[in-house]
A and B are shown apart, each in its own frame.
Chain A
Amino acid sequence: MNDTTLQNFQTQQDSPTASESAVRTSYNEAPTPNKGQPVTRNESVEENLSVRVRDLSLWYGEHQALDDISIDIFANTVTALIGPSGCGKSTFLRCLNRMNDLISSVSIKGLVEMDGHDVNARGMDEVALRRRVGMVFQKPNPFPKSIYENVAYAPRMHDMVSRKADQDELVERALRDAGLWNEVKDKLHEPGTSLSGGQQQRLCIARAIAVRPDVILMDEPTSALDPISTATIEDLMDKLKKDFTIVTVTHNMQQAARVADYTAFFHLGEMIEYNATKQMFANPHTKKAEDYITGRYG
C-alpha cells in the first residue's frame, strides 16, 4: 500500500462534500453496485438466506455514511466486508445488531430483515436482536471479570442455564468451540485480561458464541493481533461457520481471500460489488474493486 495515496485518501475522507464528488466522477465509468447483476453462488453447498438488506442508508447527523446498500448474507458462510478506511463497512456491520442505536445522531432508512422480521421495526427489541446477532470487536474487550464469568455471564443473564452444572458445561463447550479450553482450563477463575491479546480475542468469541446466536459480527477481529494469533482466529472462523453465520470486516484483503466465502467491497458509503470471494478476486466486475484488490489504492 502506498503511503501517499493513503494519506490523500484520508484527506478526502475528512472533507466529504468537495472531494467525495471528485472521487465519484473519476470513477464514472464504473457501474453502480451490482443490484441488477446476479451474485455468483457457491454451488458446492446449499445456502439459505440469513440476513436480507435492502436499500439501507444511514446518516451521522447530516453526513451520509451508507448509501442504498442491498445485500443478501447467506447462512453458514463467512462474508467479508472490505474497502478503504471510512468506507462505511463497520457502520454497516453495526446496523446488523443495531449497535448504531447507541449513537444518538444516527438516522437509518431501509430494510434489514432477519428471519422474516425487520430489525429496525418498532416492535423489534434490540436486546432480543443482539441475543441472536453476537459481536466481536476490533480490540479484545473481555469484561473485567474472570475467564469463567466472561463466558457464563450472558447465558445466565438470558436465563439459558439454571443449574451450576449446566453452566459449567456451557462454559466448557463455548471455550472448546473457541479453541481456548486447553489453554485456560486450569485458570478459569483468573481475570480475563490476564490472557494474551490473541487469547483475549478468542475469549470474546467464546463469549459471543456462548448464547448460541445465529450470526456473529466481527469488526476487524485480528487488526490488533500478531500474525500467529491472526492465523488461529482465521482457522477458528472457518470452523465456526458450520454452526454460525459470520460477517467480518477486514482491512486485509489476503484475509478476505483466505477465510471468506463471499466478499462485499465498500467504497465511500456505497457497496460497489458483492460476489463469491473467488469470483471477486479472480474477475472483479467493477474497475474500483479491481483497483482496490490489485492495490492501486486503499
Chain B
Amino acid sequence: MSQSFEEISAQLKKRHRRSARMKWMTMGALILSAAFLVVFISDMVVRGWPAFQQAQIQTEVSYNEQSQKLPLAAVDEDVRPLISRGFFRPLPRRMENNPALMGTTQTQWVIADSRVDQYLKGNEDRLRPADKETLQALVEEGRAELKFNTTFFTTGDSKMPELAGIASAAIGTVMTMLVTMAVCFPIGVMTAVYLEEFAPDNKLTQIIEININNLAAVPSILFGLLGLAIYISFFGVPRSSPLVGGLTLALMTLPVIIISTRAALRSVPDSIRHAAFGVGCSRWQVVRDHVLPVSLPGILTGSIIGLAQAMGETAPLIIVGMVAFIPDASISITGASTVMPAQIFTWASEPNSAFAEKTAGGILVLLAVLIFLNALAVWLRNKFERRW
C-alpha cells in the first residue's frame, strides 16, 4: 500500500525544518566571521590612520653662521621646544651642501615634536603650559596643523616617533622576498615536476610526499632555528641580513610551493599528456610544451600565496636577528636589515603612544601589500586560465 501525499508531506515537514535550521546556522557562521573581519580592519584603520598624519609648524628659519654652529638658534626661542630635534640635527649639513641658503631667512613648514603631534591628535598631554599657549596661538594663526606624513613612507626606524618610518623595513621586505623567491620558486617547481611527472610511484616517493606535506605544517619558528644552525653557524651568512632571512623563509615556503605546484600539475588532464606522447614528445617536451603552460596559473597562484605568507612571518626572523633597530635602509642583501612585520613587532613593544599609532599604521601598510599580492594572484590566474 503506497503512502498518500498528505502522509509524505507530514514526514517531510520535519526534514524541511532541519534544512532551514542548518541554512541559518551556516549563514550565521559566515556573518560572524565577516563581522570579525570588519571589526578588525576598521579598528586598525581607526588606530592606524593618525600615523599617516604628522603635525607641522610654520616658522621662520634663519640660516646664518650662528645657526650653523648652534642649530637651535635657527628658530625663535618660544617655538623651539615645539619643533622636532630631528629638524635641527641635519641643519648644518644642509647649509654646507647648499651655500645659497647662507644668510637668508625663510618661512617654512617644519616637522613638529611628537608631543605636539600627540597633543594635536588629542592623545596625550605632555607639553609644558607655556609651550601649550604658544601652540594654541600658532594653531589659531593657522601656523600649526596636521599634514600628510611623508616621513613615515620615506625613512627608517628612529627613536623619535615623528621621524620613524616604514621605508627601510619595506626595502628589507622586498630584498628578503627577492631572495626567498629566487631560491624557492625554481627549486619548488622543479621538485614538484620531478615528483609528479618523472618519479616512479614507489615507496620512496610516497615517503618523500608524506614528509613534504608534514613540512608544510611545521611551526615556523623551527625554520628559524634551522636557519640559525645552518646558514649562520655553518655557512657563516651575515646575521640580520636579507640573505639569511630570505633563505630561512625559503625553507618555510618551499613545501607550500611544492604542494600547490603538484596540485596544479595533477589538474592537467592526462589526455593532453597522451596526445603529446602520441606525437613523439620526450617526457621533458611533454612537461615544458604542454603541461607547464596549462598549469602555470595554478603554480603562480600557489607561489604568490606562499610568498605572501612568508612576507607576514616574524617568528623565524627573530631567531636570525632580523628583528632589530635598523634606522637606515640597506640596499645590499648582506647588510643589516629588517622587514615590515618585524618593524611592527619592534614598534609594538614601545611604550610611547606615538609608536602605538605607528604599529597600527605599519599593519595597514602590510595589509595593503598583502591584499595587493593576493589580487595579483587572482589576476594572474584569470589572465592565463583557459587560453585554449
Contact = CB atoms under 8 A, between A and B. Distances in A.
B101 interface: no
Contact of A158 (B201, B276, B280): B280
A99 B271 CA distance: 12
A188 to B, nearest CB: 15
Nearest to A129: B280
Contact of A144 (B200, B285, B387): B387
Nearest to A136: B278
A135 B281 CA distance: 13
A192 interface: yes
A144 B272 contact: yes
Interface of A: 97, 99, 102, 104, 127-128, 130-131, 134-137, 139, 141-145, 153-154, 157-158, 191-193, 204, 207-208, 211
B277 A211 contact: no
Nearest to B276: A143
A127 B282 contact: yes
Interface size class of B (residues with CB under 8 A): 20 to 34
Nearest to B268: A144
B279 A141 contact: no
A153 B289 contact: yes
Contacts of A157: 279-281, 285, 289
B36 interface: no
Interface of B: 200-201, 269, 271-282, 285, 289-290, 293-294, 387-388
Contact of A139 (B271, B276, B282, B289): B271
A48 to B, nearest CB: 23
A102 B201 CA distance: 12
A137 B273 CA distance: 12
A154 B280 contact: yes
B271 A153 contact: no
Contact of B388 (A131, A136, A193, A211): A193
Nearest to A194: B388
Contacts of A131: 280
A94 to B, nearest CB: 10
5 contacts: A153-B279, A154-B280, A157-B285, A191-B388, A208-B278
Contacts of A144: 272, 290, 293-294, 387-388
A97 B294 CA distance: 26
A143 B388 contact: yes
B274 A104 contact: no
A143 B280 contact: no
A204 B278 CA distance: 10
